[in-house]
Amino acid sequence: MKLLIKSATIVDQQSDYHLKQADIFIKDGIIIKIGSSIKEKADKEINIQGLHVSQGWFDTSVSFGEPGYEERETIENGLKTAAFSGFTDVVLNAHSNPTIDNSSAIHSIKAKAQGNAVNLLPTGALTVKTESVDLAELYDMGNAGAVSFADYKKPVSNPNLLKIALQYAQNFDGLVQSFPLEKKIAGKGIVNEHHNSTLLGLKGIPNLAEDLQIARDLYLLEYTGGKLHIPTISTEKSVALIKEAKKKGLDVTCSVAIHNLILTDDLLSEFDTRAKVLPPLRTKKDTKALIKGLKEGTIDFVTSDHDPIDIENKKVEFDNASYGSIGLESAFGALHTIFSTEETIEILTRGRSRFKAENIKIAEKETAKLSFFLPEVKYTFEKSDILSTSQNSIFLGQQLKGKAIGIFNNNQLIIAE
């Protein structure tokens, strides 16, 4: 395939063409030439006013449902959604039925994603059936292609189990994840514990439930060594704890869900279950600390935390609704409301090596792994913007800035024109 991209602004801090407008000629998945007024004949030409191009975007936490919850999202439609949302690489959570807790399940997931424009990087369950009782087949899953090990949205309740996991995973350079929630402190809470939870009569989850679990996990990491990733933090204290751990030289990374960066628990006033997420939406004080932590590098990744939930489990009474929101389609536009274009792209492309993904700059003779976007488009996020099977977007009705329109990856073009 020969592809010619005309007059695109390149946003790639690793590239010599950063912030320059240029033509890009690609042949058989390789960037052959970058320059002005390229005249090569191509099978396909892209010429879109205001087009920007960057390295392919990376998401550390997506869920699709399959196997077992295909009514929420299939792998095929999930990867298509990721492509049109600008993502070339996504890390898939072990959030299915049966859960992905053995090497056969990893092989099956990878086979279903094979040949796709988007690279799917599977996470294996940390414990059997994510029940936090026995460790899953970590070594075998790692050999099969699992890039990390986590029980999605479930904390490791037994500290000795996490200790053993961190020690064992060092034998094969495995990355262990631990969800930051102390369930006994959280109790029956379902939203952030603050004045809004009191006003609305909803049981609260205090910041302490997250902070205490993170403090525990960091003590364990200091004792065992190894590699730890803490997904989707949400509190001011969490940022401080992880910052201090990094100063000590501990091998720890963390992420934040985009909705926890931007939205607060004020959104709960309408009892809209789309705003029921875990960790819960916190306060403005927390969002400010999270944004600062992301800018200074304490927080390593943002994630859409894309989690499709069917209507039967979402459009019910608030207490009974499942946690979760889709987020791939709104990720760029939401993030771009608080960061500049350069900052947004740097955040969306950072840290691939942590999850064994390739980092490829935009340069001649390099493999083309590109995301296409229009940064200046301002719009209200509506149902028509949703590509996922499920419609549970926390950003419905929100004002966004910038829109992803596709990718080029694995010698395949996916673009909305």
Tell me the CATH number at 375. Answer: 2.30.40.10
Q: What mean pLDDT is predicted for residues 154-160?
A: 96
The predicted pLDDT at position 250 comes to 98
**Domain co-membership, 180 together with 48:** no
Q: Quick check: bond before 122 cis, omega within 30?
A: no
| Residue 245 neighbours by CB under 8 Å, 6+ apart | 218, 221, 222, 252
**Domain co-membership, 112 together with 171:** yes
**Domain co-membership, 273 together with 378:** no
Last residue of a domain, one of 355, 371, 397: 355
Number of domains composing the chain: 2
**Domain co-membership, 48 together with 64:** no
Q: What mean pLDDT is predicted for residues 151-178?
A: 97
The predicted pLDDT at position 217 comes to 98
State pTM to two decimals. 0.96
Distance from the Cα of residue 38 to its chain's centroid: 36
DSSP code of residue 51: -
The pair of three-digit structure tokens given for residue 288, joined into one six-digit string:
């400010």
Cα maximum dimension of the chain:
65
Cα–Cα dist 331/61, whole Å: 12
Dihedral sign, Cα of residue 158, residue 164, residue 169, residue 175: positive
Q: With cut-offs at 50, 70 and 90, classify the pLDDT of residue 221.
A: very high
Element (H, E) at 278: none
Say if residue 414's pLDDT is above 90.
Answer: yes
Last residue of a domain, one of 303, 337, 355: 355
**Domain co-membership, 176 together with 301:** yes
The predicted pLDDT at position 331 comes to 98
Say if residue 74's pLDDT is above 90.
Answer: yes
Q: What mean pLDDT is predicted for residues 45-61?
A: 97
The predicted pLDDT at position 350 comes to 94
Q: With cut-offs at 50, 70 and 90, classify the pLDDT of residue 253.
A: very high
Q: What mean pLDDT is predicted for residues 62-82?
A: 96
Strand partners, 26: 3, 31
The pair of three-digit structure tokens given for residue 340, joined into one six-digit string:
């500049």
Query: What phi and psi values does residue 283 have, to the nearest 5 degrees?
Result: -105, 170
pLDDT digits 0-9 by tens, 103-133: 999 999 999 999 999 999 999 999 999 999 9
The predicted pLDDT at position 417 comes to 75
Cα–Cα dist 376/51, whole Å: 10
**Domain co-membership, 186 together with 87:** yes
Query: Tokens 């072990």 appear where?
Result: 94
185, with CB counted inside 10 A (0-12, 13-18, 19+), is: middle
Tell me which residue of 211, 227, 265 sits closest to 126, measured CA to CA: 227
Last residue of a domain, one of 338, 355, 372: 355
SS3 (DSSP) at 412: strand
**Domain co-membership, 134 together with 220:** yes
Task: Supply the range of the domain harboring residue 378.
Answer: 2-52+363-415
**Domain co-membership, 115 together with 162:** yes
Q: With cut-offs at 50, 70 and 90, classify the pLDDT of residue 272.
A: very high
pLDDT digits 0-9 by tens, 397-408: 999 999 999 999
**Domain co-membership, 178 together with 41:** no
Check 101, 286, 305, 310 and give the catalytic one: 305
Q: What is the CATH number of the domain that holds 186?
A: 3.20.20.140
Cα–Cα dist 319/191, whole Å: 10
Strand partners, 44: 3
**Domain co-membership, 113 together with 152:** yes
Q: Average pLDDT, whole number, for the chain? A: 97
**Domain co-membership, 329 together with 410:** no
Percent of the chain with pLDDT over 70: 100
Task: Confirm whether 305 is a catalytic residue.
Answer: yes
Query: What phi and psi values does residue 245 have, to the nearest 5 degrees?
Result: -65, -40
Tell me which residue of 235, 257, 227 sits closest to 355, measured CA to CA: 227
The predicted pLDDT at position 58 comes to 98
**Domain co-membership, 18 together with 100:** no
- Reading phi first (left if > 0) and then psi (alpha if -120 to 50, else beta), residue 218 is in alpha
